[in-house]
Chains A and B, each alone.
Chain A
Amino acid sequence: MQIEVLRLHVNTVRGVYGRTLEFEKGLTILHGPNSHGKSTALMSILYALGLEGMLSARRAIPLPHALTDYLLDGEERVDVESSSVAVQINNGRETICVRRAIKGEDDPRLIRTWQMAMTDKLSDSESVDFFVRDPGSATHDAGFHRYLTEFLGWKLPTVPRYDGKESPLYLETIFPLLFLEQKRGWLGIQARIPTHLRIRDPQIRAVEFLLGLQNDDSVLQRARCETQIQHKLEEWTHLRAVVLTLAEQAGGQIFGLPETSKSQWDRTQRPTLKIASGDEWLSVSDMAQQLRKGLVAIENSKVPTVGALADEHGRELVQVEAELERLDIAQSSFREELLLAETELVAMRERLERLASDIVRNRDAAKLRTLGSASRLALVKDMCATCGQSISGNISLGDETTPMSVEENLNFLRDMEKAVSAAAAAAERRVKTSKIKLSSLREKRSEKRQQIRALKAALVQRSSEPSEAVISKRIQLRRQLEILGRGDEKLSEVLGRLEGVHIEISTLRAQLSHHTRQEHSGEDSAKVTALQDSFKSQLSEYGVQSVEVDKIAISKTDYRPMAEGMTDLEFELSGSDLIRSIWAYFLALLEVGRTKPTNHPGFLIIDEPKQQGTEQTSIAKMLKRASDAGQWGQQIIVASGGSVEQLDSELEGIPYQTRSIDSHMLIPELPRSE
């Protein structure tokens, strides 16, 4: 793609001000003293294409007061009534103009397009209009970014997001590799790729796309697999907790239960329940047998008389009383557990209520902007009603970092809601478990108390009567058998489900490793190598000294340059060398597109870094390297603060164009006839 014309148009109380810049293929240097608007010109290209979302999540217009509020004509302040920016672009097949309003009657979310070159007579009635900065601009038929994507001959891949969903690789993620802005573009390699769109590893996806690397959808498949595994793991953990509780209720323990979901489930060695009997652990069937034997023994023999059993009863009584005491202690600790879980549940539920209310309010805030009676409010256009300057639309507490936009905030709150809901569900499960434990404990205690009563009664019975204690024991044994049976049945059912989930997780994990990043194909490898070669040769050319250029490599996993020993190159570089490296990276992406099939649109826009003091890095060598872009039909636009004479001497003999802004960017123009 080539940028051919940029036109800024401002209507003021004193007439029309504006600037028209024309660009050709090859290297164009936009120069002039600082603060005369070079950055403004480049930013307005971004703005015209609806890409200010790559700078931040806010809707604020990234243009200075000269375009939105007032400009200075000499010493005089002239108020801006309306303003717009138009850009003419060419994709090798057709030429179109796009225009977007900055201030004034037209909605800044609208971009008008014409299938022709720029003239003064672009009439609104002949334009095809698109919208931008609303969600859906990248996919909707009427969305400008969908139109621009087609114009660029691109097909955006679907990529995974942090919340488990998927989205197209938005243009705002790709363009930071084509447009190097002055304020924050020079902070690091791949630095300005935005994360607020919630795409996972956006830097990697952006470079992959730009280089045209084979888009195997292993990335998507992996993300889907991982989400599924997450869900199954929650179920697994829950089922395992239920198993442990049931075992405890039955008065036993589970042996052979896997500690983590990572092991292989051995179908021949299933987990089993064993019941405590004194010092031993008996299997369920053995325990049942023991109980049955005891029962049969009691039933077959005559119920002994009290006199015969007096001693035995006495000893038993002491023992059972001790057991009851132990149960009492256990009960108070279970009660504490329950109290904690209930408190937490209440707290979680309160949080959920507050989150729900915050979500409703944020949703309303978003909807309010669309109401008819709100549409003419300056606030809805993110402007102050009194002075017209850009505002964020939030009440802020003073000096803070960027606030979230309403959409971001809603996503954030919904994520929190999910997390807190999960925590509330977990707390609820714990409450249930604690209650089960307490009730089973209560049952055991009442059993013991009954036993004690029976023993005491037996001890005062007349020696010739049948022992109540023994009768009571018989009843108890029967009950114990029944409970054992039921518990075992329930446990088997839950264990069955756990087995199912465990095996599902193992299968999913196997699938996941199958979807592991395939090695790059031969062609792709060659592209990454080409990127690496161009990068390194540039660093040598530019005289990078703070690292050994020979030992640099571009990582095949995240495409970031690495110094010796696989450390991130950025940390090793001096300030000047960082500037050279960032330039080299951008240019390398462009150069690879010359000899290999990539998605690079063949243009770069670079705003020179603001440098102070004596340690100014000369960009002459970098400009020299950039100057052969024209031979390849590519375009590089650079804004530079150096003077014309300085540039001429440094760039002798190489082909380049200049555009100079020697007065202010916006100059008065003769009024056009209607």
Chain B
Amino acid sequence: MSAAEFITKNPIARFVSRPWPVPGENRLVWRMALLVVVLELAGRGGSKTMSLLKLHALCWATKSPQTLDSLDALLSNQLEARSLGVSIDPFLNSALDVAIAEKLVTQAKSNLGLSNDGRLFAQEIIAEQMLKPERTAIQRIKGRATEATLKRVLGLTGG
């Protein structure tokens, strides 16, 4: 029997497709939870509004202790914006679309805010002690992360 015949008659491997792990932050419901919590904790006024830029920046800051420190340093004028990787996260925009469709988040011109349902959701999340590291990060940075500072430092125009 030739080698090829032998291998055909005695298959050594079967390939089975297995499911793929999804990082926790890519679970849509988690993303939406992060969005409403960021808006609730750092938004302005009764509707808890903020610009899209600020939303992206704050969500980016909650990714890890390193990103939080980076944004903090940036906002306290200790770093050049160019040396950072602050990015616009396309996944966040998808989650935002869903949040708006679910009527948790409202959109007025270039500002985003929370509906009543959105605020309830955020408050329940906070009451249940969920998303702790992310909330701590927001509390730490929200003082420095004003709309004006962000616009200046991140050098982006528009929403």
Chain A residues within CB distance 8 Å of chain B: 57, 195-196, 357-365, 367-369, 371-374, 377-380, 384-386, 393-396, 400-406, 408-409, 412-413, 565, 567-568, 571
Contacts and interface: CB of A to CB of B under 8 A. Distances in A.
A386 B133 CA distance: 32
A365 B28 CA distance: 8
Given A196-B19, A371-B125, A362 B24 contact: yes
A29 to B, nearest CB: 33
A409 B18 CA distance: 12
Given A396-B26, A404-B22, 17 more contacts: A196-B19, A357-B24, A364-B24, A365-B27, A371-B121, A373-B124, A374-B29, A384-B101, A393-B27, A394-B22, A394-B28, A395-B31, A400-B20, A402-B17, A402-B20, A403-B20, A412-B21
Contacts of A409: 21-22, 24
Contact of B30 (A361, A378, A400): A361
23 contacts: A196-B19, A357-B64, A358-B23, A358-B24, A361-B24, A371-B121, A374-B29, A377-B104, A378-B101, A385-B103, A394-B22, A394-B27, A395-B28, A395-B31, A395-B95, A396-B26, A401-B19, A402-B19, A403-B21, A405-B19, A409-B24, A567-B9, A571-B11
B88 interface: no
B103 to A, nearest CB: 8
A437 to B, nearest CB: 34
Interface string B121-140: 10011001011010000000
Contacts of B28: 379, 393-395
Nearest to B131: A364
B25 A57 contact: no
B125 A368 contact: yes
Nearest to A385: B101
A374 B121 CA distance: 7
A105 B128 CA distance: 26
Given A357-B133, A401-B17, A365 B24 contact: yes
A379 B32 contact: yes
Contacts of A367: 128, 130
Contacts of A400: 20
Contacts of B124: 371-374
Nearest to B9: A567
Given A374-B121, A385-B102, A404 B30 contact: no
Interface residues of B, number: 40
Contact of B27 (A196, A357, A361, A413): A361
Interface string B90-123: 0100110010011110000000000001001100
Nearest to B29: A368
B145 interface: no
B10 interface: yes
B33 interface: yes
A379 B23 contact: no
B128 to A, nearest CB: 7
A358 B79 CA distance: 29
Nearest to B65: A353
Contacts of B27: 361-362, 365, 393-395, 406
A371 B101 contact: no
A379 B19 CA distance: 21
Interface of B: 8-11, 16-33, 64, 91, 94-95, 98, 101-104, 117, 120-121, 124-125, 128, 130-131, 133
A639 to B, nearest CB: 26
B157 to A, nearest CB: 28
A373 B101 contact: no
The 5 closest A-B pairs by CB, nearest first: A361-B24, A365-B27, A385-B101, A362-B24, A365-B30
Nearest to B128: A371
Given A196-B19, A565-B9, A567-B9, A379 B98 contact: yes
Nearest to B123: A373
A396 B22 CA distance: 8
B102 A378 contact: yes
B140 to A, nearest CB: 17
A645 to B, nearest CB: 41
A400 B21 CA distance: 11
B26 A364 contact: no
A364 B20 contact: no
A364 B11 CA distance: 43
B29 A404 contact: no
A379 B117 CA distance: 14
Contact of A57 (B11, B19, B26, B98): B19
B125 A404 contact: no
Contact of A379 (B11, B25, B102): B102
B21 A404 contact: yes
Nearest to A410: B24
A423 B23 CA distance: 22
Nearest to A406: B27
Contacts of A368: 29-30, 33, 125, 130
Contacts of A373: 117, 120-121, 124
B65 to A, nearest CB: 9
A367 B124 CA distance: 12
A368 B122 CA distance: 11
B97 to A, nearest CB: 9
A408 B125 CA distance: 23
Contact of A365 (B20, B29, B102, B104): B29
A362 B26 CA distance: 9
Contact of A395 (B21, B91, B103): B91
Contacts of A377: 29, 102, 104
A401 B24 contact: no
Contact of A361 (B9, B19, B25, B102): B25
A44 to B, nearest CB: 25
Nearest to B97: A386
Contacts of B31: 395
Contacts of A364: 24, 30, 33, 130-131
Nearest to A416: B21
B106 to A, nearest CB: 14
Nearest to A360: B24
B19 A403 contact: yes
Given A372-B124, A373-B124, A380 B24 contact: no
A109 to B, nearest CB: 16
A403 B22 contact: yes
A402 B16 CA distance: 12
A57 B19 CA distance: 9
A176 to B, nearest CB: 15
A420 to B, nearest CB: 14
